[in-house]
Amino acid sequence: MGTYYEELQRARKFLRIHNIADADVDAWYLLAHVLGINRADFFMLRETLFPEDKLQILDNLLKKRVMHIPLQHIIGCQEFMGFTFEVNEHVLIPRQDTECLVEEVLKICHNKSVLDLCTGSGCIIISLTKLGSLKSATGSDISDKALITAKRNANRLNTEVEFLHSDLFDNIEGVYDIIVSNPPYIPTKEIKELMPEVRDFEPITALDGSSDGLLFYRNIIASLNRYLKKGGYIFFEIGHNQGMDVSNLLLKEGFIEVSVKKDLSGLDRIVSGKRP
């Protein structure tokens, strides 16, 4: 049994030996989770002996991580847009790329009605509600278990969001100023090439976009004129090589002001358009 600092170094080494991506970062988060401390606490207490009863807990979590169970599933949460969201095996883990989508919608969503299709953990619509002064907020998903998670996130973050069980627009009524979606967009044949943390532990229904990855975009865009107000906007998260394809789908449906925005890595990540 060593000090906080020594046990952190041991955890980092253990994860590195097992070729875990971001081993140093993950070791820190696991240690902080077990001890219930932040970085300031750690630097003050780095020479403190690690509690013996907590050491076995840390070791068990490290063993889970080397099985490629995602860090976020182990600690049960993920930061997104400055908020902490509960995550589990029923929802896609919120990613930094998706923050770019939220930031684009925030530019125009004040006092607007917003529908988030394929809401998952609810991170998009809840963040928009917290930061965007929406007129109304609705999130939908085909997964009942995902919706349970989204509702817990909304309640914990004290936000008013209506969550609906719906296969895309099947149970949606009314029209909206803005529709936003991060749908499944990975081509089926590419699923097997994903990192095991994603391939084996995140819900396949949140990943698989059929043979070319465009099935959900086609289905959503085909119904937009029924559910999006005239002058309303659609925002999609996309795969890095899907900008032209999704843009063309919108243009063929008569949408205007169609544009592609990049993420922080310089990759195409968002397609948006306006219903004339």
Per-residue pLDDT reduced to its tens digit, 63-98: 999 999 999 999 999 999 999 999 999 999 999 999
The answer to whether 176 is annotated as binding is no
* 55/147 same-domain check: no
The answer to whether 141 is annotated as binding is yes
* 218/139 same-domain check: yes
- The b/e string for 3-40 (b: 16+ C-beta within 10 A; e otherwise) is ebbebbebbbebbeeeebeebeebbbbbbbbbbeeeee
* 234/126 same-domain check: yes
The answer to whether 184 is annotated as binding is yes
Domain-embedded: residue 30: yes
67, 102, 117 - which closes a domain: 67
Alpha carbon 92 to chain centroid distance? 6
Domain-embedded: residue 166: yes
Strand-by-strand arrangement of the 176-181 sheet: 162-165, 136-141, 113-117, 176-181, 228-237, 268-274, 256-262
The parent domain of residue 60 ranges over: 4-67
* 238/102 same-domain check: yes
13, 38, 67 - which closes a domain: 67
* 95/55 same-domain check: no
Q: What is the dihedral of CA 30, 36, 41, 42, to 10 degrees?
A: -30
Domain-embedded: residue 82: no
Residue in 246, 143, 239 with CA at minimum distance from that of residue 190: 239
* 151/242 same-domain check: yes
Contact between residue 271 and residue 101 where contact means Cβ atoms under 8 Å apart: no
What pLDDT score was predicted for residue 261?
A: 97
What pLDDT score was predicted for residue 25?
A: 97
* 62/183 same-domain check: no
Domain-embedded: residue 77: no
pTM comes to: 0.94
Residue ranges of the chain whose pLDDT lies below 70: none
Max Cα-Cα span within the chain: 66
Contacts of 193 (CB under 8 A, 6+ apart): none
Domain-embedded: residue 178: yes
Ramachandran region, residue 150 (left: φ > 0; alpha: ψ -120 to 50; beta: rest): alpha
* 20/51 same-domain check: yes
CATH number at residue 195: 3.40.50.150
CA Rg, the chain, in Å? 21
Domain-embedded: residue 80: no
* 59/94 same-domain check: no
